[in-house]
Amino acid sequence: MERNDRMSMMAEIPVYQVLLRMSLPMMISFFIQAMYNIVDSIFVAQISENAFTAVSLAFPMQQIVTAIAVGTATGVSAVWSRNMGIGRKDKASEAIRTMTAMSLIFTAVFILLGIFASGPLFRYQTDVKEIAEMGTVYLTINWVFSCGTIFGKYYERLLVSGGRAMLSMAAMASGAVFNLIFDPLLIFGLGPFPELGIAGAAYATVFGQIFSVFVAIFLNMRYNEAVRQDMLRPAFHPAAAAAILRVGMPSIITIGLSSLTSFFINQILLLYSTTATAVYGVWMKLQNFCYMPTFGLNNGIVPILSYNYGQKRLDRVKQSMNLAVFGNGILICALMVILELIPGLILTLFNAGPQMRELGMVCLRACVISLPFGMVSMILATSMQALDHSRYAMVINLLRQCILLIGCFGLISLLTHSQKLIWLAVPVAELITFGLSLVLNRRFRRNLGI
């Protein structure tokens, strides 16, 4: 009865209430996660600028794991919720078991990549020996222990889909707290812990993620009756895998293209200096932090949209989308104003020297303007993918995360040869994508009759 009540609330209680219940804990969770990512980088920056540059160059490749984890978790959440909404519990069960099998496969692939590909990738990016060596260590550890990210996103999303968003927040927060405690201990060798430097930062991160996996497993087994029989029993069903990937592919492409884009943009910035790459690393961390509420909102809204779409409650679908854009818009605009006022303080936290500080002030003030436009594009794309319009979402994500951003960086660099004007590429790309998102959103709503 409790499980049915939690599922039916998505179609019965007022939309703003269910959106808050499902999304607010996830928004807080993602904020916490972003905080420990930033704190991790701040600790690394105290080692040296080269250490921070190494982490910045590793970040796009770390995001490949996140892309697959978030995308497939989004896919299984939508497929499971939709099948539960129409009473196909057998298909919902197949989706859960297939996702478990897929997670094991992804983990094995990244273990191999960590062992064999980390070094060559870093040596390709830079000929600064210290940066390449530290980056290889950091990336190898993150890829070899990628199971924490892959299974963590999956099991946390199961809690959200089962109406247990607060428990998902608890699982994610547990990993963040673990990381915050062990980061300084392992990086600087405090107390009985060895001084591991950049390797300590990597171990604190991956062990924190693995800790949150065990917490999420316990919470699912204890409180999420709908999935407990299937989540630890892998079985591959091709039709279920195809359905998961069909829904999740736009998210995979969104984050994956962001990773690929960062890689290419780093190559452009390295033509100017390693300091420019470090500054871009600060912006990526800051952008990731600012968009975490949007990521949390998107995590919460997917099962709401999918369930109500399965129930033919299109009025609630429309209300959910409108509230998501309006509510998150207020928060993201407030963040934009605050960040425009304190770029110097942010750079001080990252131990910026005079050259990095001068360039960073220009970068941050230009880039934060893009935040509201990017937020709208992200929410609209997620809504489209949750409601069987993944092709529209793919177009938005492909342009926003790759083609327009790389194109703008390359074109402005070619025309100006200025490492200060080049940062205008970020707001220009987001503004163009925003306009296209509004056009596709109008067509998408007309197709659904909302």
Question: Which of 39-48, 137-146, 147-156, 296-305 has the lowest average pLDDT?
Answer: 296-305
Q: What is the pLDDT of residue 38?
A: 82
Global model pTM greater than 0.85: no
Here the tokens at position 29 are 């969770």
Residue by residue, DSSP assigns 266-335 as HHHHHTT-HHHHHHHHHHHHHHHHHHHHHHHHHHHHHHHHHHHHHTT-HHHHHHHHHHHHHHHHHHHHHH
How large is the angle between the packed helices 238-270 and 390-398, nearest 10 degrees?
10
- Per-residue confidence (pLDDT) for residue 18, from 0 to 100: 78
Domain count, the chain: 1
User: Residue 169 above 50 pLDDT?
Assistant: yes
Write down the pLDDT at residue 426. 96
Structure tokens at 137: 């260590």
Contacts of 381 (CB under 8 A, 6+ apart): 250, 254, 392, 393, 396, 397, 437
By the 8 A CB rule, do 106 and 68 touch? yes
pLDDT band at residue 343 under the 50/70/90 scheme: very high
List pLDDT tens digits, range 207-221: 999 999 999 999 999
Average pLDDT, stretch 341-367?
Answer: 93
Structural domain of residue 64, as residue ranges?
2-448
pLDDT in tens, 215-261: 999 999 999 988 988 999 999 999 999 999 988 887 787 777 778 88
- pLDDT bucket at 2, cuts 50 / 70 / 90: very low
* Sign of the CA dihedral with 364 first, then 365, 368, and 369 last: negative
Burial class (CB in 10 A: 0-12, 13-18, 19+), 361: middle
Residue 6: the pLDDT is: 54
Among residues of the chain, what percentage have pLDDT more than 90? 56
DSSP letters, 67-119, are HHHHHHHHHHHHHHHHHHHTT-HHHHHHHHHHHHHHHHHHHHHHHHHHHHTHH
In this prediction, residue 9 has a pLDDT band, given cuts at 50, 70 and 90, of: low
- Mean residue pLDDT across the chain: 89
What kind and span of H or E run contains 146? Answer: none
Q: What is the pLDDT of residue 249?
A: 85
CA atoms within 13 A on the CB side of 40: 30
pLDDT tens-place string over residues 171-206:
988 998 899 899 999 999 999 999 999 999 999 999
- For 12-38, the DSSP string reads HS-HHHHHHHHHHHHHHHHHHHHHHHH
pLDDT digits (tens, 9 = 90+) for 267-289: 999 999 999 999 999 998 899 88
Q: Are 91 and 159 in contact (CB under 8 A)?
A: no
